[in-house]
Structure 1
Amino acid sequence: MQPTLLILAAGMASRYGSLKQIQEFGPSGETIIDYSIYDAISAGFGKIVFIIRENFAAEFKEIFEPKLKGRVAVDYVYQEMDAFVGDHAVPADRSKPWGTAHAILCAKNAINEPFAVINADDFYGTNAFVKMAAFLNNDCKSDVYSVVGYELGKTISEHGSVSRGVCAVNAAGNLSAINERTKIYKNSEQIVYEEADGSTHPLSPDTPVSMNFWGFHPSVFNLSQDLFNEFLDKNLANPKSEFFIPIVADEFIRRNLGQVKVLPTSAKWFGVTYKEDAPGVQASLSELVKNGEYPDNLWK
């Protein structure tokens, strides 16, 4: 059975104001998602599942259905506030979605095979999809998950700080811990992360970091459900609390349920953390097209 690609896109409408404005970066009006899907199909993924919000489903389908029809199976899952909360009552003042690990949990009834998870607005590169497909086809088990490890220096924005999951990797190439560093930036020639108290700590450019490109066995759904219940017991009243994928990965390791392989890639990530990043993304894609890595029209 071919692996599935789960694309986290529930936050898109709030970021772009309207889906009509999903930014076009490629020479024929391609979005960043188009490149990820193209790479996934080329690497042998058999199904794309989009996690979106129901209130923009019609608009979203209008954009992607015509491109993908006949090329790959497509499914849609809605991340709604009351999904999988069990006996917990969602507080009236809660407007923020529950986070990326909750988004995955919402796909529980749509996926029965090994699958990868990516963000909608990050460009991951062909190499990362090839490595992930090989992992999902050959090595993925209920006790073996994976994450693509990017070199930190290839994931920095020139226009401000970024948030990255800094990976600690053991001698066997497995994740031993992942720390979400929410403020990483270039300080003259050095890359540093800043703590809440304002203190800064250097990070080497080759430090492996997660860009939310994960490989999971469907066993992750039951684990996520258990952890989400625990999370709600503790955090229900905090309107800003979020249930993130690294929480699930960390607990999977901490509870000795299995291992998370780090799949190293030298691919250069790019994405639009700041609107000033957009011209750079456009230039990078033009360069890849010029070098023959992508056709100038992905869906022709």
Structure 2
Amino acid sequence: MNGREESKLSLVVMAAGMGSRFGGLKQLEPVGPSGEFILEYSVYDAWKSGFRELIIIIKEENRDLFHEAIGRKIMNFMEVKYAFQDIKDIPDEFRENEEVKKRQKPWGTGHAVLAARKEITCPFMVINADDFYGKETFSEMARILTEIPKGTGAIVSYPLERTMTRSGGVSRGLCSTNEAGFLTDVVEHTDIRYEENRILSFGEEVMEVKPDTQVSMNVWGFLPEILPLLSQEFTAFLENIRDPLKDEFQLPSAVSSMIRKNSIRILAGRSTEKWYGITYKADKETVKLGIKEQTDKGRYPERLWEDKDGR
């Protein structure tokens, strides 16, 4: 331990994306027995694991929507803050670039974390709003965040087969680690899908991926010291951007760059939980059934926020 056992832990949720393949604001799709959203289960698991602050990264125009749907419930359990991801939030020297000024698409997950830089003051966990991670994932990250020294971050990865859908292709970051248990690289594959009982990645070449391959589901843990490093990576990204209208500054790529520069080490934790997510509309029923099964087993109450003890 390094004296941070009593530190506040923050959960940072990336919720600014609209979900183009899904076709709407999938973060607010009811999936629980009492109409809860996926995000509520992540927040509940985080609260049970010792997180006491929630920072939701959204588009500013969705602030009231998220607060009424989620924030108002959670305020009785955790401090709730909002951070706004804005495509105009870039270093001054790039704001007059004519191509950049035409951009309509968000800058990506690395930029999303930077959008919360003014709110982040303590060790924090980063997740997607539309993924169901399971309580083990949060307890594992909470344990790591109370122990890691400066210059170190963390990832909690999953076996690929526990993150797949039969509804179509998915994007997954394939993780590589060294013998010491630290992440060495995350390589993004943008179209991984089942072909009968095999899992294939379709890119410039088609390759088979083993079911037990560890993949990133954007479950990261950092100390606030990561933020200036991430800002430097964003500047470098903009300096070398090929397509200012479409290229995205993704968190896994930024972290991989930091690892190569020896500016950070990333401890690789693992989760054995079953991941659920809504990439396609057909996935919603699978998620609902999975949560119902876990509720029936007593892992979650019928109503998540019934009282302070979570009964």
TM-score range, shorter chain: over 0.9
- Per-residue CA deviations over 1:44-75 (Å, capped at 9, x if unaligned) read 00100000111111111111232112211010
Amino acid of the residue matched to residue 304 of structure 2? L
Report the number of matched residues.
296
Stretches of 4+ aligned residues off by more than 4 angstroms: 13-16
Unmatched 5+ stretches in structure 1 = none
Structure 1's 81 and 38: CA in aligned 2 closer, same or farther, altered over 3 A? same
How far apart in 2 are the matches of 1:132 and 1:3? 10
Residue matched to 1:114: 123
Q: TM-score, normalised by structure 1?
A: 0.95
Amino acid of the residue matched to residue 125 of structure 1? G
1:182 equivalenced with 2:172 (yes/no): no
How far apart in 1 are the matches of 2:23 and 2:74? 22
Structure 1's 159 and 237: CA in aligned 2 closer, same or farther, altered over 3 A? closer
1:98 equivalenced with 2:107 (yes/no): yes
Q: Secondary structure at the match of 1:118?
A: strand
Identity of aligned residues (%): 37
How far apart in 1 are the matches of 2:240 and 2:61? 29
Mapped contact 2:52–2:77 kept (Cα < 8 A)? no
- Per-residue CA deviations over 1:109-149 (Å, capped at 9, x if unaligned) read 1011110100000000000000000011112x331111111
1:22 equivalenced with 2:6 (yes/no): no
Q: TM-score, normalised by structure 2?
A: 0.91
Residue of 151, 154, 168 corresponding to 2:159? 151
Q: CA deviation at 1:16?
A: 5.8
How far apart in 2 are the matches of 1:127 and 1:74? 23
Amino acid of the residue matched to residue 229 of structure 2? L
Q: Matches of residues 47-196 of structure 1 in structure 2 within 5 Å?
A: 47-89=53-95, 91-139=100-148, 141-196=149-204
Amino acid of the residue matched to residue 121 of structure 2? N
Amino acid of the residue matched to residue 136 of structure 2? N
Unmatched 5+ stretches in structure 2 = 1-6, 307-311
Amino acid of the residue matched to residue 117 of structure 1? V
Q: Secondary structure at the match of 1:166?
A: strand
Amino acid of the residue matched to residue 106 of structure 1? A
Structure 1's 289 and 190: CA in aligned 2 closer, same or farther, altered over 3 A? same
- Per-residue CA deviations over 1:174-206 (Å, capped at 9, x if unaligned) read 11111001111112221111113xx31111111
